[in-house]
Chains A and B, each alone.
Chain A
Amino acid sequence: MRLPKFNYLGPKTLDEALDLLDTYKDDAKILAGGTDLLVRMKKGLLKPKVLISLKALNELSYIKKQSGFIKIGARTPLADIIDSDLIQKEAKALFQACKKIGAISIQHFRGTIGGNILQDNRCHHYNQSDFHRSGRQACHKDGGKICYAREEADRCNSTCQSDGATALMALGADITLVSKSNERTIDLADFYTTDGIMPHACESNELLKEIIIPVFGAHSSYQRLAYRSAIDYPIVCAGVLLKPSLKNEIAEARIVVGAMGRSPLFLAQISSSLKGKKLNDTIAFKKAADASMDSSATFAVHNVGATLEYRCSMVSQMVFQALEQTAETIKA
């Protein structure tokens, strides 16, 4: 399979990269590890004229702790995140999620955390070769007016299958985006649109610079299900964060369900229903897990493999296991 033609630009500094982005805007795409981008280009799903490589920008590759926050540069390889004691100890859900991504040839091969959360949504009707798609009408995401995943859908219901995004949202992470003239930091949960065609709000002249995870005495866990443990994307996943109070009750909870909707789903109401509950209240965990299943089921369509029924019923398992595992680590 060949790549369509493009020009490769290798800026030496961040400023140079931002200048190039500002010049080429929609004609350019940023190349980090390329493990999402190049696959989509090979399938003819996008044809940027220019690729701006982050290869030389080592300034975007770091993991550090600074005044109560873990800061991760956008170009940090997944392999570095897996190797980091800091992440393993203080942002366990992210560690567990990254460990599950792809096989080592994806992790080593520079799959980055930035590219992971900015990867496009997926759908098995859309992520197909040019040849496959040429045999039928284009769907919404492909520029057409129909949807193969949900009959009569007036919009695209592609699925966000990023493991990293689900874990980071559970951890309450913010992200910093920079452009030539601006820099903004936003809550990852507010970064996603509800549009399957343009799933997140990264402007064409913006570059993701940093991921910021608050560290405040909470514990987290991540669970996911895929066909094969290596290589395959999740068909359902869940990230959970619990902060214990001094009385060992739950002071704060965050439940995020991934691979079910157009973005990871932060279930705020269900999360807060756990406040004040004991850490060994399995019945409350079960209730929250079942409610998570009911909530996320309304978002999911049959487009990433396995039956919808199976994926929905496994949401409750994933959430329950993540809650139990988090509570266990707190108790230990």
Chain B
Amino acid sequence: MATNISFLLNGDKISYEIKDHWTLLHLLREEMGLIGTKEGCGNGECGACTVIVDKLAINSCLYLAIDADEKIIETIEGLASTDGTLHPLQQSFVDNGGIQCGFCSPGMIMSSKALLDENPKAGHEEIKHALAGNICRCTGYVQILDSVEAARDKGGQNE
């Protein structure tokens, strides 16, 4: 069945005709061409597909597109400014070696953003907890945690 949904995507009002069995990940990547959000496992195990829905970090591979109706959605594409200036979290990942192959980075950054939006002073343990559902096969996590902590310490400002 096809259904019409509307939602706010990175600040833009979107109306889209979707199929009932599409996931939000499918809608973003395959239909809208927003390929910043990644598909790793497709089963809720890796966090590569993390986006923010109504302020919560969720796995878009297990979230039906139809459930996105009337929601506020943020993806990695919405983070940098239109002039190309990176979001402080993105810049911090670049500066602190939090990115190697980059496949996990959009998910890591969206999970971190959801946390810091809610709690700008989150401590080490809270950051670890918030990122526990995100897997990285390259960095060994230390640089990622450093990147998030550095971004937090700068209070959301780029240097």
A contact set with B: CB distance below 8 Å = 1-8, 31, 34-35, 38-39, 42-43, 51, 53, 55, 102-106, 108-109, 229-231
Q: Which residues does chain A contribute within 8 Å of B119, judged by CB atoms?
A: none
A106 / chain B contacts, CB cutoff of 8 Å? 44, 59, 133
Within 8 A of A (CB), among B1-39: 1, 3, 19-23, 26, 39
Known: A1-B43, A102-B133, A106-B133. A38 touches B62 (CB 8 A): yes
Task: Report the separation of the CA atoms of residues A34 and B21 in the bound assembly, to the nearest whole angstrom.
Answer: 12
Q: Is the CB of B56 within 8 A of A3?
A: no
Q: In the complex, which residue of chain A has the Cβ closest to the Cβ of B111?
A: A105
Chain B interface residues (CB < 8 Å from chain A): 1, 3, 19-23, 26, 39, 42-45, 47, 50, 56-59, 61-64, 66-67, 111, 129-130, 132-135
Alpha-carbon gap, A3 to B67, bound state (A): 15
**Contact residues in A for B111 (Cβ distance below 8 Å):** 105
The 13 listed contacts between A and B (C-beta, < 8 Å) are A1-B39, A1-B61, A3-B21, A6-B21, A7-B20, A31-B64, A102-B133, A104-B132, A105-B57, A106-B44, A109-B59, A230-B132, A230-B133
Residues of A within 8 A of B135 (CB): 231
Q: Which residue of chain A has the shortest Cβ distance to B129 in the bound complex?
A: A104
Nearest CB in chain B: distance from A224 CB, A = 15
A105 to B64, CA, bound (A): 15
Given contacts A5-B21, A229-B132, A230-B133, contact A103 B47 (CB under 8 A): yes
Cβ distance A300 to chain B, nearest Cβ, rounded Å: 24
Tell me whether A39 and B130 are in contact (CB under 8 A): no
Residue of B61, B62, B64 most packed against chain A (CB within 10 A)? B62
The answer to whether B20 and A39 have CB atoms under 8 Å apart is no
Q: A residues within 8 A CB of B133? A: 102-106, 230-231
Residues of A within 8 A of B63 (CB): 34, 109
B42 & A1 in contact (Cβ 8 Å cutoff): yes
The residue in B44, B45, B67 that gathers the most chain A C-beta atoms within 10 A of its C-beta is B44
- B58: shortest Cβ distance to chain A, in Å? 4
What 9 new A-B contacts, CB under 8 Å, besides A105-B47, A108-B58? A3-B22, A3-B23, A8-B1, A53-B67, A102-B133, A104-B57, A105-B57, A108-B56, A109-B59
| Chain A residue contacts of B129, Cβ below 8 A | 104, 230
Give the nearest-CB partner of A37 in chain B.
Answer: B62
Q: Are A109 and B58 in contact (CB under 8 A)?
A: yes
Whether the pair B64, A34 counts as a contact (CB closer than 8 A) is yes
Q: B114 to chain A: closest CB distance in Å?
A: 9
When A2-B26, A8-B1 are in contact, do A109 and B62 touch as well, CB less than 8 Å?
A: yes
In whole Å, how far is B122's beta carbon from the nearest beta carbon of chain A? 12
How far apart sit A226 and B42, CA to CA, in the bound complex (Å)?
21
